[in-house]
Amino acid sequence: MKFDPSTTAVPSEDLRHVGQATHRVDGPRKTTGTAPYAGEWHPEFDAHVRDAAYGWVLGAGIGKGRIASMDLEAARAAPGVLAIVTAADAGSLDKSQRNTARLLGGPAIDHYHQAIAVVVAETLEQARAATALIRVRYESLSGRFDLDAEREHAEIAGDDAKTEVGDFDAAFAAAPVQLDATYTTPDESHAMMEPHATLASWEGDRLTVWTSTQMVDWCRTDLAATLKMPKEKVHVRSPFIGGGFGGKLFLRADALLAALASRAVGRPVRVGLHRPLIANNTTHRPATIQRIRLGAEKDGRISAIAHESWSGDQPEGQPETAVNQTRLIYAGANRRTAMYLAEMDLPEGNSMRAPGEAPGMAALEVAMDELAERLGIDPVELRLRNDTEVDPEHPERRFTQRRLANCLREGAQRFGWDQRPAKPGVKREGRWAIGVGMAAAFRNHILMKSAARVRLAPDGSVTVETDMTDIGTGSYTILAQTAADLLGVSLERVAVKLGDSDWPVSAGSGGQFGAANATGGVYAACVKLRDAIARKLGLEAEGAEFADGEVRSGGRSRALAEAVKDGEPLTAEDGIEYDESLSKQWQHSTFGAHFVEVAVHVDTAEIRVRRMLAVCAAGRILNPVTARSQVIGAMTMGVGAALMEELAVDTRLGLFINHDLAGYEVPVHADIPEQEVVFLDEPDGMASPLAAKGIAELGLCGAAAAVANAVYNATGVRVRDYPVTLDKLIAQWPAAA
């Protein structure tokens, strides 16, 4: 089905379940332990995996170089060992386009902890013990591990990586108020709760993997390409995922090595990446260096805006697109953005929740606050004065909806922004300095094809099948709500089946594009099924109403179940597609505003977040319960990015040294106060059939900047290098010990 906003957008009055606060339909399975995750798949779910062996992955012990020799003799002789697979005996492997580095290294080593072997044994303990017996001799090479040192060698990262509008240099030089500042964000880890895990099994030349992946079809396509086998002979199953945040978008070593190990031993094999391996073996958010220049008139109108960003990745990698939001969020006639990419030998950098905008907004929104201070203008007012209804680079393109100003005003009113001390470092409660900060939020909405299959059974129940995944976001629930509304049945009569490559290809979970597009796919399949049902009942399909288990058309009413009274189910499969002209003519984006209050101890510089508010405008909210969960989770990640999260790079050896949850700090419950989330009523009929847009990443974009701005308001100390830690404050804050 082609999406046509004039004919396929669903009116609000036709929706009874969508938009309602609904608890997760999969909640009982998760709370009773009957939801099968990849690492715990067992014979209760599939009897033929009963005889599964275990694989343990060995990662490279150097950051760059070659394997001179690998002694496997002692490991092969260890108790329970069935096989050891290395690059030397894995057969010819390809590298898919979505993988930057090879998933199985050797003899060349591309990065630290690149997988170089998997040991397969009867038990997990035996596999792990045998792996410790492998003796590897390396020939190390000097590597490029320091972004700051490689910055001068960085090059423009592609054809669209530099934009120019007007004459930035002249406008900036002439601006009466100027800001020229550099900000840095560190490498960050996804730190998802569920490690990467896969169970693989071969039946002849056909492969099945039960794995943890956000994108089932990408995983299937890339696993087939890497193994040089037909895609139709690979079956991927991923019904439940314990978090991904972008770290499970792409094929990773666990799936490939499980497949190779299973083929080697002729039985199912489980492979899970142990926690210390994940940070270096998989992907991470790359560090950035960002230079922002803002020139403004004395009334606060921006006349010149430039944002340049440097990041690094493996050869043939991609930049962290930290300038994305700057191209769209604020007006300004003279503009420049540029992304520079340095070739480095650190582990692969790639998507992490809100790639681009998360680190980009962390810098831009602090720069906006610094500009507001120089102008003597309230930070909220400065943003309002530079709002725009059109794409600043292409004024002929308007936003489908843009309620940034509404978010800013609503948030300011709810948070009590008018009580904020304009002068930093003046408000105290005992030995605590109190400050408040804010930031705008921005994230684009992406239109993607998505398909589904819907079936009406003889008992009147409805089943939805699609390879869409649920990474804890509530996909099961919103897809059930969609089918229930379109077919006029209760939510309890809808069963949703997800995460299987035998089912129609969906948008998948990532980039804030999953919910709006996947529900669009279910919408398309349901519309096709509605036509089939109406014909079966002898009713006119156009204008038919499906409600309360009945179909009503032309003054007649028939029970839905009558369409399948012959015992044969009715099935329809279809998907939603978007004409390219929709994105060319219109800009699809989501907007919001973050407000934060912090307390900073004047003796120790300890930072405590006390209040958080996010106001979001992101199309129709499909389910306020699951949407709120997404936003507060994103806000929590924003606190982590602002105050603690940092992969520490050993620039001598080329590794992240704090590669576990003991050394890589993330927020815990004690770090997070009560969080308030407000959704503006904003159905966007240009975005999707249900007038919905993405929400999951908007709550992160700008959150870190709001925290950093609040810390500045409390202390008067401006830290431009994330995370904002107490040592950086103490170094500049005379009041601190």
Give start and end residues of each alpha helix (H) in 137-243: 147-150, 168-174, 216-227
Q: For the chain, report the end-to-end CA distance as a whole number of angstroms.
A: 65
The one catalytic residue among 308, 348, 357, 697: 697
> Could you give the domains of the chain?
2-35+447-581 (3.30.365.10), 38-142+194-281 (3.30.365.10), 386-444+588-730 (3.30.365.10)
Confidence (pLDDT) at 49: 77
Tokens linked to 481: 């709500």
Q: 420-455 burial string, b = 16+ CB within 10 Å, else e?
A: beeebbebeeeebbbbbbbbbbbbbbbbbebbbbbb
pLDDT at 466 over 90: yes
**For 173-193, what is each residue's pLDDT tens digit?**
999 999 999 999 999 999 999
- Do strands 390-391 and 394-399 pair parallel, antiparallel, or not at all (unpaired)? antiparallel
Torsion angles phi and psi, residue 429, rounded to 5: -130, 95
280 and 111 in contact (C-beta within 8 Å)? yes
Alpha helices in 141-232 (DSSP H): 147-150, 168-174, 216-227
Q: Are 68 and 138 within 8 A, CB to CB?
A: yes
Residue 295 to residue 177: CA distance in whole angstroms: 6
Say which residue the tokens 């839905």 belong to: 560
Decide if 605 contacts 728 (C-beta within 8 A): no
How many residues does the structure list for the chain? 737
pLDDT at residue 151 is higher than 70: yes
Q: How far is CA 168 from CA 171, 328, 335, 447, in A?
A: 5, 16, 5, 32
* Residue tagged 């709500």 (tokens): 481
Residue 396 has pLDDT above 70, yes or no: yes
User: Is there a contact between 479 and 466 (Cβ–Cβ < 8 Å)?
Assistant: yes
Beta-bridge partners for 3: 578
Residue 737 has pLDDT above 60, yes or no: no
Of the candidates 103, 134, 138, the one whose C-alpha atom is nearest the C-alpha of residue 347 is 103
pLDDT reported for residue 736: 61
Predicted local distance difference test score (pLDDT) of residue 493: 97
Cβ atoms of 689 and 523 within 8 Å: the answer is: yes
What order of strands is seen across the sheet that includes strand 545-547? Answer: 545-547, 550-553, 556-559
Half-sphere exposure of 726 (CA within 13 A, CB side): 13
SS3 at position 674:
coil
DSSP state of 60: P
- Answer whether 684's CB lies under 8 Å from 619's CB: yes
d(CA 350, CA 64): 19
Pick from 663, 645, 648: which is nearest to 704 by CA?
Answer: 645
* Average pLDDT of span 652-677: 96
Q: What angle do CA 640, 644, 648 make, to 5 degrees?
A: 120
pLDDT digits (tens, 9 = 90+) for 698-728: 999 999 999 999 999 999 999 999 999 999 9
Instruction: Identify whether 297 is a catalytic site residue.
Output: no
Rounded Cα–Cα distance for residues 269 and 53 (Å): 5
Which pLDDT does position 44 carry in this prediction? 65
Q: Which two tokens stand for residue 428?
A: 């105290």
Q: State both tokens at 660.
A: 């576990």
Locate 133 and state its tokens: 């017996």
Give pLDDT tens digits for 189-214.
Answer: 999 999 999 999 999 999 999 999 99
Closest C-alpha to 309, from 295, 293, 331: 293
> How many distinct helices (H) and strands (E) make up the chain?
18, 34
**Please, which pLDDT band fits residue 735 given cuts at 50, 70 and 90?**
low
pLDDT in tens, 46-94: 776 789 999 999 999 999 999 999 999 999 999 999 999 999 999 999 9
pLDDT digits (tens, 9 = 90+) for 337-392: 999 999 999 999 999 999 999 999 999 999 999 999 999 999 999 999 999 999 99
Q: Which pLDDT belongs to residue 45?
A: 64
Per-residue pLDDT band for 729 (boundaries 50, 70, 90) equals: very high
pLDDT in tens, 514-553: 999 999 999 999 999 999 999 999 999 988 999 999 999 9
Does 43 have pLDDT greater than 90? no
Bridge-partner residues for 349, per DSSP?
284
Q: What is the mean pLDDT of the chain?
A: 96
Per-residue model confidence as pLDDT tens digits over 312-338: 999 999 999 999 999 999 999 999 999
Task: Judge whether 574 and 524 are in contact, CB under 8 Å.
Answer: yes
- What is the per-residue pLDDT across 90-132, written as a single tens digit (0 to 9) for each? 999 999 999 999 999 999 999 999 999 999 999 999 999 999 9
Report CA Rg, the chain. 27
